[in-house]
């Protein structure tokens, strides 16, 4: 992977970092693996105050409803489509979609498609905890009726 020219210090900077890494397909694609038992993840890079993770999701795999402790984040879909459930909404995230969140944000991400998905996640500061939350019936079931967090 190419070196990051300087430490990002804004959400826009971390979004730019995510886009830069995403554009370097030759750098991340050979690293992707798939695990039938659970979503696969690999810490791709660390820097001062942040870390970057590469994840793969087979059909039906999901994160469970969770937060990110004191970390903010940016994530983008590199291949395929993920579904995010948060704050009573359902959002389809396709390749190149970019999401940002602050501490306290709770969501669930699921591959509801029939093909594998690859995503990239940047956490700042680095992810030190990922507290799990009780599932919201609508999130886990993927129904049209959504409950608020």
- pLDDT tens digit sequence for 58-72: 999 999 888 888 998
At 47 the three-state DSSP class reads strand
54, 75 Cβ separation under 8 angstroms: no
Pairing of strands 81-86, 108-110: antiparallel
Quickly tell me which residue has 């970390």 as its tokens: 71
> From residue 143, how far is each of 40, 93, 119, 136, 147 by CA, in Å?
25, 17, 23, 11, 10
pLDDT greater than 50 at residue 141: no
pLDDT greater than 90 at residue 50: yes
Task: Dump pLDDT digits (tens) for 73-110.
Answer: 999 999 999 999 998 899 999 998 899 998 989 889 99
**pTM score above 0.85:** no
- Look at 141 and 12; give whichever has higher pLDDT: 12
Cα(17)–Cα(44) distance, rounded to whole angstroms?
12
pLDDT of residue 66: 80
Confidence band of 146 (pLDDT split at 50, 70, 90):
very low
């Amino acid at each position: 992977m190419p070196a990051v020219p300087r430490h990002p210090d804004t959400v826009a900077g971390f979004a730019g970092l995510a886009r830069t890494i995403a554009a370097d397909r030759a750098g991340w694609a050979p690293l992707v693996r798939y695990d039938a038992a659970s979503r696969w993840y690999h810490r791709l890079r660390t820097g001062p105050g942040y870390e970057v993770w590469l994840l793969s999701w087979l059909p039906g795999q999901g994160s469970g409803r969770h937060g990110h402790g004191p970390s903010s984040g940016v994530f983008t879909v590199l291949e395929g489509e993920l579904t995010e459930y948060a704050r009573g909404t359902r959002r389809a995230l396709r390749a190149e979609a970019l999401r940002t969140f602050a501490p306290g944000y709770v969501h669930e991400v699921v591959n509801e498609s029939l093909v594998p998905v690859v995503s990239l996640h940047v956490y700042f500061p680095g992810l030190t905890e990922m507290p799990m939350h009780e599932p919201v019936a609508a999130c886990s079931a993927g129904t049209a009726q959504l409950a608020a967090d």
